[in-house]
Structure 1
Amino acid sequence: MSGLNFTAIDVETANSQRASVCAVGIVQVRNGQVSETFEWHVTPPTGLDSFHPRNIAIHGITPEMVQAADNTWADSLEAIQTLAGDFPLVAYNAPFDKSVIHESSRLSGLTPPANDFHCALALAKRHLTLEKYRLPLVAEHLGIAPFTHHDAGSDAAACAQIVLALSERHDLREVSALWAPARIDRSEASLKPSAFSRGNKSPIAELPQPNPAADPSHPFFGRQVIMTGDMESYDRWDAMEKIASLGGINGKGVTKKTAFLLIGDGKTHASIDLENGTTKEKKAAAYMAAGQDLTVLTEPDFLKLVGKRSPAALKPKAVFAPTVTDELRTGGGTSEDRHPAPQTAESVISPVPAPVRQHEDQDGQYGSQPSPVGVINGFQPSEPVTPHISDVPEKAGQAVTAMLRAGTRMGHRLFGATKN
């Protein structure tokens, strides 16, 4: 598998803000083989370092753990860039991980990596026919050993193994071949409404069409819903299918017919600034100023409207979050509800209780129980190890060796955290 070189990466966040990075997992793949695996905790950028109970319930990382690690985002970004080199970065549900890296860098006044960034989830959807594409399910389908989901190092390793398995299965030995644009048989595509390719532009007629038998009392029924940004719980196509199943009308852009604008990218009502946002957000602001009845939805709003349990409503185990408000226990509001926009989903429909589902993540995955506090895949965090220089080449690898020789703080920490 010579020539297949990339760096798999996974990040975890402390709360709903994309810049609240609290853990990084890195797996180097060189010449078609896993080279080294690293993972470490990160203190989120100042102002975004509060840990929400739902996030703790998902990954098990606590404020005490990141404080003990004492790694800043500047330290982490240096390590990511050194470990990745000039090779592409790959993540499972890459829009999420990429946005976390970019937002954390932007708020820290740093420049994010310029490496190409590829999505292993998109690769799996291209080559596999499964009912669901959650990371553990895809890994199991490909014969990859069970792992601790939502552990950054384990998720990055699973991502790397998925790419390697698909590369082997389809005899694609270069990264450029794996993510080459899909070729479409135009004669067949013209006959199939399902010819829509996720991530590519499609005629409106090919978008999921409204279900005429849906409940006419649902707020989406017969009304246009437009999306901007990426969501953690659904990819764009699946969200459109959900909207259509409820009788909603999908579209490509904000118009005078738009009734709802669904804003992703982890934004809250407190952080949304329509007039300075995306093109769709700016158009929505203009139409609303002109008197149009247009409701802005965040991802938690959308989850309530489609009857899916919001991650914000999950009750974490007490060992990770000893203080959980009654509001969260009953599936009530989140911090976003305390800063409402002029009109939100709360004014459209009351929250409807939904079945409790434990540990749901950004792509609809249900992970295993979090690792015990202070333990990451059997690696007990400790003070950084300062090696004898003669030990470095055998234990650290070229990238970490270079950081050690340069005397960087993160070099010593990565040496101590090397997993293989």
Structure 2
Amino acid sequence: MSGLTFTGIDFETANSRRASICAVGITKVKDGQATARYSSLVNPPEGFRDFNPMNIDIHGITPDQVENAPEWVDIHQEINELIGADVLVAHNAAFDKSVFFRAYDAYDLEWPENPWLCTLNLAKKSMSLPSFGLAWVSKELGLPEFSHHDAAADAEAASRVLLSLADRIGLSDLSEIQVAAERPIQPKDVSLEELGISDDVPHINGAFVGETICFTGALRLKRNDAIALAVKQGATAQTGVTKKTSLVVVGGFSSTTLRPGASMSSKLEKALTLQQNGQPLEILTEVEFLQRLAVEEDEIRRRIAERANTGSSWKLPEWAQTQARDPNCGRDWYRYLKLVLHPEGRATGGEPCIWCGTEIARGAHWTYRNRHVCDFACNSNFKRSARRYGEQLGLFTN
């Protein structure tokens, strides 16, 4: 087995918001061997603690189980020391990476700048399968069964997948494997109306551009809502599986139960037959569909925020500059972050974001509402700009 060194990582969340981390699992691999493991339940940050029934069904974690668990701010230093400078490996790394960043952001912590590697993308590049869920990929590689959506088990399973795929494709250098795992993004215009963004912002990529998609099974979403979400992200919807179908989203299955040998409907059986006959077709569970869509919407907001900040709006607002110079901050960056407050006070919902203009949600985290920013991306831009301003004037010493 490949003598690679890296850290496998997995997160579970309480709801669809990425900062709602409720569990973390880590497997540290050195020279191809697991040398350390870490797992913990996590009490989500204040403002992100509502548990969605769908998420509970996925991982089985309930609010009472995390009530006395540590928060991310309590364990992040220990995790940072364990990870070190390793490449972080996850299956569908876009999801885990966004959870990782938002957990840090919820507490105004600086996140580590480790590189990431996605075993989902690597599997897509090196295997021909109807589904690329972690359980399916693991079984096809002949790896041990595991308790899917247990964060510790998923982190170890993703680590095993990477080692197995590295042997399969004959690569032993992580940088080469990262290149092999990269997937190009195809350009496609998408409507920003659903995101509440002005049409004067340039259109950008959709999550399902170029896909011909079919939904089947007992979806939790209304079928028409699921179709609308996919179409707005660039897909063409079908009512049945045909030779044009490239993606089948199935309800009634989890990423644990959707695996080789499972009992499937006629639509799924047809999809499997087409895939086995050479048609490029992938099967997703409803949760996997929503995760990809949500990650893409996060990416959309990030890019919108970046584009909104290419002009004069990139400069830190005058009120934030004034507060950075306030002696009460004591030249302390983290004290500044605790004290900085929009001159109109905490947003109550509906106010425009100071970076991108999007309306601030009533339920946004209090730190976002203090600064009148709408989400993770705009808050990060605010902090980067404030830090740069403070460093230029020698205001912050830590």
Tell me the TM-score normalized by structure 2.
0.52
The verdict on how the C-alpha distance between 1:164 and 1:21 changes in structure 2, with shifts beyond 3 A counting, is same
Between the aligned partners of 1:360 and 1:2, the Cα distance in structure 2 is: 27
Percentage of pairs with the same residue: 35
SS of residue in 1 equivalent to 2:170: coil
Contact 1:23–1:42 (8 Å) recurs in 2 = yes
From 181, 184, 202, give the equivalent of 1:200. 184
1:124 aligns with 2:108: no
Map 1:233-382 onto structure 2 (within 5 A): 252-254=187-189, 261=191, 272-275=195-198, 282-283=201-202, 307=215, 312-313=220-221, 356-359=251-254, 364-365=284-285
Alignment root-mean-square deviation, CA: 4.1
- Provide the aligned length of Structure 1 versus Structure 2: 243
Tell me the TM-score normalized by structure 1.
0.50
Contact 1:90–1:119 (8 Å) recurs in 2 = yes
Between the aligned partners of 1:148 and 1:97, the Cα distance in structure 2 is: 18
Contact 1:54–1:311 (8 Å) recurs in 2 = no
Between the aligned partners of 1:131 and 1:47, the Cα distance in structure 2 is: 38
Q: What is the aligned partner in structure 2 of residue 92 from structure 1?
A: 91
Map 1:69-80 onto structure 2 (within 5 A): 70-80=69-79
Between the aligned partners of 1:48 and 1:134, the Cα distance in structure 2 is: 27
Q: Which amino acid aligns with 1:77?
A: H
Between the aligned partners of 1:307 and 1:126, the Cα distance in structure 2 is: 24
Q: Which amino acid aligns with 2:104?
A: S
Deviation at 1:42, TM superposition (A): 0.7
Between the aligned partners of 1:87 and 1:298, the Cα distance in structure 2 is: 29
Between the aligned partners of 1:298 and 1:51, the Cα distance in structure 2 is: 26
1:162 aligns with 2:161: yes
SS of residue in 2 equivalent to 1:81: helix
Q: Which amino acid aligns with 2:103?
A: S
Map 1:41-56 onto structure 2 (within 5 A): 41-56=41-56
Between the aligned partners of 1:360 and 1:120, the Cα distance in structure 2 is: 15
SS of residue in 1 equivalent to 2:27: strand
Between the aligned partners of 1:281 and 1:55, the Cα distance in structure 2 is: 36
Higher helix share: 2
Map 1:213-228 onto structure 2 (within 5 A): none
Between the aligned partners of 2:149 and 2:157, the Cα distance in structure 1 is: 11
Deviation at 1:2, TM superposition (A): 7.3
Deviation at 1:126, TM superposition (A): 1.4
The verdict on how the C-alpha distance between 1:201 and 1:135 changes in structure 2, with shifts beyond 3 A counting, is closer
Q: What is the aligned partner in structure 2 of residue 415 from structure 1?
A: none
Between the aligned partners of 1:108 and 1:126, the Cα distance in structure 2 is: 37
The verdict on how the C-alpha distance between 1:332 and 1:41 changes in structure 2, with shifts beyond 3 A counting, is farther
- Ranges in structure 1 where 5+ consecutive residues have no aligned partner: 183-197, 203-251, 255-259, 264-268, 286-296, 300-304, 314-330, 335-343, 368-420
The verdict on how the C-alpha distance between 1:312 and 1:52 changes in structure 2, with shifts beyond 3 A counting, is farther
Q: Which amino acid aligns with 2:106?
A: L
Deviation at 1:168, TM superposition (A): 2.4
Deviation at 1:359, TM superposition (A): 3.3
